[in-house]
Amino acid sequence: MNKGVPELSLMAYFGMFPVSQVIEKSLFGSPKIRLMPLLSVCQYLFEIGAIIGRARRNKLHILAKMFAVPGKEQDLASYWQEQAQERLYSYGEEPGTFFDLFITTELATVGLRLDSSREFLKASQEKMPLKEAEPIIKLKGELGIGFGSKFPDLTEKMFRQQYERIDIGRWSEMKKYITTLTEQPPGVTFEEREQQLLSQLAVYVNEYFPELIKPLRLRI
C-alpha cells in the first residue's frame, strides 16, 4: 500500500528547484511566471519525463500508477503516447533537439513562433499566476513520459544532439529563451543523465509509492 495521496506529485518533485528560480514575487499578490520561463520549466520536465519513460517503457502502466485513478492506468498511458504522436506529427519532421520540438510546438498552439515580432515580444512578457501554471507544468512532464516510451530511440538521439554534440553558438542561442540551461553545456552523457534521474525517481517512489520500487526495478 502506498502512503496515500503524496504531498508532492512526481513532476512537482522534479520541478521544485527550476520553478523557484523563475517565479516572480511581489509584496502584494500571488507569485507569477512569464511565458518563456514557464515554457523553459515545462521543457525541462518534458525531457525528464521522456528519459524516465524511455528507461521504463516496458513498465509504463506501472509508472502510470503514480498519476492515474486506480484501474485507469492503461488509459492514461495510452493518452500520454497518443499526445506524443500528435506532437511529433505537428512538428512535421524529425526534431534535432528537445528545444526544437517542445518550444516550437508549444508556441504554435497559441499562434506564436520564436522571433522578434511584436506579438511574440508582447506575449513573452505576460505573466500567469503560479497557481494556474502549476497544472500545466506537471502535465508537460507527464506527457514527456509518453514521448520517451513511444519514441525511445528519438529521445536518446535528441538528448545527445542537445547536450553532447551541440556547439557553443547553438547553446548560446537556445539560452536566450530557455532559462533552465546552464551557462555552458553540462558535459553529461545520456547514460549519466538517465542514471541520475532513475536515482532521483527511486528516492521519490520509496517515499510515496514504496510498493512500486521492485516492479519498477529501482534501487535505493
Q: What is the pLDDT of residues 143-202, one digit of tens each?
A: 999 999 999 999 999 999 999 998 899 999 898 888 888 888 888 999 999 999 999 999
Q: Categorize the per-residue pLDDT at 5 as very low, low, confident or very high, splitting at 50, 70 and 90.
A: low
Structural element, H or E, at residue 86: helix 73-91
- Report yes or no on 116 lying in a domain: yes
- Report yes or no on 31 lying in a domain: yes
- Report yes or no on 2 lying in a domain: no
Residue percentage of the chain with pLDDT more than 90: 76
Residue 56 pLDDT > 90: yes
> Residue 179's pLDDT is what?
84
Number of domains in the chain: 1
Residue 2 pLDDT > 50: no
Residue 51 to residue 67: CA distance in whole angstroms: 17
Structural element, H or E, at residue 200: helix 190-208
Residue 71 to residue 69: CA distance in whole angstroms: 6
- Report yes or no on 1 lying in a domain: no
- Report yes or no on 5 lying in a domain: no
> Residue 53's pLDDT is what?
98
- Report yes or no on 218 lying in a domain: no
Domain that includes residue 98, residue range: 10-211
Q: How many Cα neighbours within 13 Å face the side chain of 109?
A: 8
| Mean per-residue pLDDT over the chain, rounded | 92
- Report yes or no on 3 lying in a domain: no
> Residue 3's pLDDT is what?
47
Q: Categorize the per-residue pLDDT at 32 as very low, low, confident or very high, splitting at 50, 70 and 90.
A: very high
* Strands of the chain, DSSP E: 32-34, 127-129
> Residue 210's pLDDT is what?
96
> Residue 1's pLDDT is what?
41
Smallest Cα–Cα separation from 4: which of 61, 73, 66?
66
Residue 78 pLDDT > 90: yes
pTM over 0.85: yes
